[in-house]
Each structure stands twice: as structure tokens, then as C-alpha cells.
Chain A
Amino acid sequence: MSSEAYHLAVLQVVVPLLSAPLIILLRPRGLAWAAATAASAMAFAVAVMLTAGVLSGIEYRYAVGGWPAPYGIEIRVDALTSVALLVVSGASLLALFAGRRSLDGDIDEARQPLFYGAWMLALAGLCGIVVSADAFNIFVFMEVSSLASYVLIAAGPNRRALAATFKYLVMGTIGATFYLIGVGLIYMMTGTLNLADMAQRISEVADQRPILAAGGFIIVGLALKAAVLPLHAWLPNAYTYAPHIVTVFLAACATKVQIYVMLRFDFLVFQGNLTDHDLQFSRFLMPLALLAIVLASGVAMMERNLKRLLAYSSVAQIGYIMLGTSLLSAAGLSAGIIHIFNHALAKGALFLAVAGLGMHYQGLRLDQLAGAAKRMPWTMAAFVLAGLSLIGLPGTAGFVSKWLLISAALAEGSLGIVLVAVVLLGSLMAVVYVWRVVEAAYFRAPQQAVADQREAPPMLLAATWAAVLANIYFGLQPGLPVQLSQAAAASLLQSLP
């Protein structure tokens, strides 16, 4: 490996991190946005290079400070990591590229450098969580990304953004503190903070009470941050009242990074060491996943605000991811992991279309959208296609994950039939809530005659369509994500007995 390639893993964090203090010093209009977009593009390029490396068989391990693990902090990149990195940096790049005009409307010029600085910190924090192989270091970057996301959400134009942020701040801090307690209890019993080292040493003290309690605290803490039902209360309003472009970024990746950490802990640290932990894990998560799919989809069917409708749909989609992983089979896990990728594509495209609609329809209530298809035909067409991917129609990325999920569930015997039924029910409910939007935009007469077409700004439209085309591309050519998610599932299952 050349020396540049060797440093890639740490550059994934360092590039966005160090761009933040530079951006806040920029003064003129537009420059902060350009710098943030450029830094985001660099982060995405690093993620692509890392993925290429992973596909060619490299497992990146980097000792920060030159101190070997477990004494120093280690950074690792494997197949699972590269899926998460692609999602996080891709979402940030696409949202920033699309978002300049939309964000100009939400944030006054003087405060834009601070806003974009916070954006880069959120990106750096999420990347930092994903690449870290050290339990405490994950906490530190979790806080960088959380504090930065609070700032981004509070930038929303409605005052309700403030109340939503406060709720998120309280629940996010509780989640992170629970995680910290769990890590402390494991440290108490094993003397280490490195995840791989923990996995080895924990077997000596497995089944001792502090370790069992640690498992509970870590899973609940992360579930709170990942908005796993019933701990999702912070999510709908936070996504609804954040600036539209911020919603694009966070909805595509923020909760998934927490699920990523949960998978790391469950499969690498706890699995194989605690008796029946795999069963407890799946007994605990499977009912929650099923509930999330049914209940959150149900709420989305009733919802009258477009953004909140999609936010509840996200809670339901987290259910699919959890359902796949709770099957504890290679097929189930890879279905869950590929849905992290595919849902990010679908939801990213949907929220980009919403950002376009938001340029002309301030409140984004469904009854205001009447005639939107006439006024913004391209945006609405993109919305429909992305909606089909969310539902899981063949030919879209969403179909690939649903298909894999259903075939994994069928392997489970009679229980599998029930699971398949719930997945299909969830998809039907998705048809209903996507249809409600389509109905409002295409078939309801506008209150005033629509004189002119007023599409979203060109860059926003281009980004929306890029995301939609990605949905179709990865629906027809799912080779890359399937390969990555299967490799990730295989490595997660290695430590299962």
C-alpha cells in the first residue's frame, strides 16, 4: 500500500474536520457554501477510494498517533464501514450541491459561514463514528456530530424548530450518556476500550452482571439515537422543522450510523460471548422492528404534513433494517445492511424533491400541494419515481432490499410467513401514503389557476434527478451494494459460535 493509501482512513475524518474552522472564517456570500461543497466532495472521493480498496481485499487499520491498539486509538475500515461511509459522505455532498438556493432562503448571509462550519462538523463526526474502532472515541465523535446536528436543525425557519431541537438535544444526550455508562461498565470488567480487544477479553467475564447491564445500556442508548420505535419521539418534529436541505442530509444517514454502531457492538463485542445473547437480541429487536413497520407506516398514512409523513416513513424503514439484522442469518443481515444503502438513496431523493417543493409551498401541507404537478412537473415526477423505490417496485433500489429481506425471512420457516406478511403489509401502506401525495399533486385542482411553471432551481433539480437515477441504476445493477453488504454480513457473523 502506498503511503497516501495508508493515510486514507484517517483523512476521511481529518478533511471535513479541519475544513470547519477554515469555513467559519470565510466572509463573502457563497464562498462558505463552495468551500463546504468542495470539502464534502473530497470526503466522498476518499470514501470511494476506500471502498475500491476494500473491494480489492484491503482491510485498513490505522494507529492514530502511532500507538498500537489497545493502548492508542485505532481506525478500521472494512466492507460494512465502506457502506456507511458512502452513504454519509454521499448524502452530504448531494445535499450541499443541491442546497445553496434553498439554504439562502433559510439562513441569513451573516450566519452562513457558521452554519456550513456546523455542517462539516456533523459530517466529520459521523465519519469519525463510522471509522473508529475504539468505544470511547465513538462517544467523542458522536457528540461532535450530535452537537453539530442540533445547530443545523435549530436553523429551521419556524420557531417549532427550536422546540424540536431542544427535545432532540435532551433525548440525544440521554442516549449518548447511556452508551457512555455501558462503555464504562465494560471497561470496568475488561480494562480495555478497543472493540476487538473487548470482544476477546469479555469472554472471561461474560455473564457477569455489569456486562449484562452494559449490554442493556449500550443497546438502549443507541436505539434512542437511532429512533427505534418506541424511542423515536424526537425524530418526526426534528426532521419536519429542520431546513429542508438539512433533512435531506440527516434523514439519509444520521440514524443509520447509530444502527451501524449497534451492529458493531452486538455482533463483534457481545455475540459469541454471552450465552444466548443472539436470541435475546433477536427477541428484543424483532417485535420492535415489526411494530415500527406497522405503527409508523400507519401514522404516515394519516399525516397531513408532507415532511412529517416522510419522517414517520423513516421510522418504519428503520424497522426493515432492524428486522433484517434480527434474523441473525447471513441473508438477513445483508438485507438489513443493503437497506441502509438503498433507503438512503430513496429517502435522499424524496427529501430533495421536497426541498424543491418547499421553494414554493412553504408549509408543505398536503392540501396546499394541489396542482403542484402542473407547476413543478420535473420535481413531482422525481418524487413519484423515488416514491416507487420507497415502496419497493421492481426496477428500483428499494425492490432489491425488499426482495432480499423477503427471501431471508422465508428461510426462517413458519415464522418467516408472518414476517413476509408484515413486510408486504408495510409496502402496501407505503403505497397508500405515497399515493396521497401523488393524488394531491396530480389530481386535485389548485385553489388558484397555475399560470406558469416554476420549477426548483436547476442545481436542486439536477441533484434530485441524480438521486432518482441512482435509485434506478442500483435497482437494475445491484452488484456493488450486494457485494459489499454480503461481505459485511459475513464478517459480522464470523464471531457467532
Chain B
Amino acid sequence: METLELYNYWVFSILLMIGFYAVTAKLNLVKKLIGLSLFQSAVFLLYISMGPVEGGTAPIFHENASDKLLSNPLPSVLILTAIVVGISTLALGLAIIVRIKEAYGSIEENEIRELDRK
């Protein structure tokens, strides 16, 4: 049971690496960006796993349950920001890809490199 409770962090590591692999090894630019957002999403799991307390609930006060144990609000706050950063990066990245497609006629990294060499 002890090790099972580190499962979250292991999954975080695996997801992070799947994303990292896609970013570095894939040649298609859209696929790279999908990998990049996987990579970022993995970090959300790392932070959110620090939040909950045994027997606690989401950190919202209720009228009739004021003595209830509340979980840590801070990781949630930080990850809300990180999610917003992620979608902003994605939007900008996709806009650049659209322009690359128009300028090069391709969104494959190796083909673009070939065109630049000419």
C-alpha cells in the first residue's frame, strides 16, 4: 500500500516522458505541439497530487460542515495558472504552424529543413 501511494508520481513521470518523446522525436510540427501539451499536462498531475489531505474535501467552506478538514488550496491555484499558460502557448504555437504551412507548404520538420537548405 505504501508504494501504491506513490503511483501518482510514477504516472506523472511516465506521462512526462511520453510527452517529451513526442516533442523531440516526432517530425510533424502539430504532433510536436500535442506532445508539448502532454508534457505540460503531466506537471499538473505532480502539483495536484500534493493537494489532498487524508479525510479532507475540496477547500471550500460550507455552512454546516465548518469543522471538516480541507485540502491544500495552493496547488490548485498554481495549476489554474499553469493550465492557462499551456493553452496560451498552444494557441501561439498553432498560429505559427499555420504560417509555416503557408510559407513552406509543409509542416514536417525534415521537409522544412530540406527547403531551407536550397
Further contacts, 15 of them, CB under 8 A, given A143-B88, A170-B23, A177-B43: A140-B81, A143-B85, A154-B99, A159-B103, A162-B99, A162-B103, A165-B96, A166-B96, A170-B36, A173-B39, A174-B20, A174-B36, A180-B82, A184-B46, A187-B74
A64 at the interface (CB under 8 A from B): no
Which one of A140, A165, A193 lies within 8 Å of B85 (CB-CB)? A140
Which A residues touch B40, using CB under 8 A?
173, 177
- With A and B bound together, what is the CA distance between A269 and B44 in angstroms? 24
Q: Do B92 and A188 have beta carbons less than 8 Å apart?
A: no
Q: Do B89 and A169 have beta carbons less than 8 Å apart?
A: yes
CB distance from B26 to the nearest CB of A (A): 11
B104 at the interface (CB under 8 A from A): yes
Within 8 A of B (CB), among A149-196: 150-151, 154, 159-160, 162-163, 165-166, 169-170, 173-174, 177, 180-181, 184-185, 187-188, 193
B69 at the interface (CB under 8 A from A): no
Looking at B23, B40, B88, B96, the one whose CB has the most chain A CB atoms below 10 A away is B96
CB distance from A101 to the nearest CB of B (A): 25
Interface residues of chain B, those whose CB is within 8 Å of chain A, are 16, 20, 23, 29, 32-33, 36, 39-40, 43, 46-47, 50, 74-75, 78, 81-82, 85, 88-89, 92-93, 96-97, 99-100, 103-104, 112, 116
Query: In the complex, which range does the number of interface residues on chain A fall in?
Result: 20 to 34
A433 at the interface (CB under 8 A from B): no
CB distance from A290 to the nearest CB of B (A): 27
Q: Do A147 and B100 have beta carbons less than 8 Å apart?
A: no
Which A residues touch B39, using CB under 8 A?
173-174, 177
Which B residues touch A181, using CB under 8 A?
16, 43, 46
Which one of A160, A162, A187, A193 lies within 8 Å of B96 (CB-CB)? A162
- With A and B bound together, what is the CA distance between A174 and B97 in angstroms? 18
Which A residues touch B96, using CB under 8 A?
150, 154, 162, 165-166, 169
Looking at B85, B88, B97, the one whose CB has the most chain A CB atoms below 10 A away is B85
Which one of A136, A162, A187 lies within 8 Å of B100 (CB-CB)? A162
Which A residues touch B112, using CB under 8 A?
163
Provide 27 A-B residue pairs closer than 8 Å at the C-beta atoms, listed in order of the A residue.
A136-B78, A136-B81, A140-B85, A143-B85, A143-B88, A147-B89, A150-B92, A150-B96, A151-B92, A162-B103, A163-B100, A166-B93, A166-B97, A169-B89, A169-B93, A169-B96, A170-B23, A170-B36, A170-B93, A174-B36, A177-B39, A180-B82, A181-B43, A181-B46, A184-B43, A184-B47, A187-B75
Q: Do B43 and A180 have beta carbons less than 8 Å apart?
A: yes
- With A and B bound together, what is the CA distance between A181 and B19 in angstroms? 14
- With A and B bound together, what is the CA distance between A154 and B96 in angstroms? 8
CB distance from B31 to the nearest CB of A (A): 12
CB distance from A113 to the nearest CB of B (A): 18
* Chain B contact surface mostly: helix
Which B residues touch A150, using CB under 8 A?
92, 96
Q: Do B89 and A143 have beta carbons less than 8 Å apart?
A: yes
CB distance from A111 to the nearest CB of B (A): 13
Q: Do B104 and A159 have beta carbons less than 8 Å apart?
A: yes
- With A and B bound together, what is the CA distance between A103 and B89 in angstroms? 25
CB distance from B113 to the nearest CB of A (A): 8
- With A and B bound together, what is the CA distance between A136 and B85 in angstroms? 12
Within 8 A of B (CB), among A436-477: none
- With A and B bound together, what is the CA distance between A147 and B96 in angstroms? 12
CB distance from B25 to the nearest CB of A (A): 12
CB distance from B93 to the nearest CB of A (A): 5
- With A and B bound together, what is the CA distance between A193 and B32 in angstroms? 31
Q: Do B116 and A188 have beta carbons less than 8 Å apart?
A: no
- With A and B bound together, what is the CA distance between A399 and B100 in angstroms? 43
Looking at A159, A166, A174, A193, the one whose CB has the most chain B CB atoms below 10 A away is A166
5 interchain residue pairs of minimum CB distance: A159-B103, A143-B85, A162-B100, A166-B96, A162-B99
Residue of A nearest to B78 (CB): A136
Which B residues touch A170, using CB under 8 A?
23, 32-33, 36, 93
Residue of A nearest to B85 (CB): A143
CB distance from A117 to the nearest CB of B (A): 14
- With A and B bound together, what is the CA distance between A187 and B74 in angstroms? 10
Which A residues touch B88, using CB under 8 A?
143, 147
Residue of A nearest to B46 (CB): A184
Residue of A nearest to B116 (CB): A160
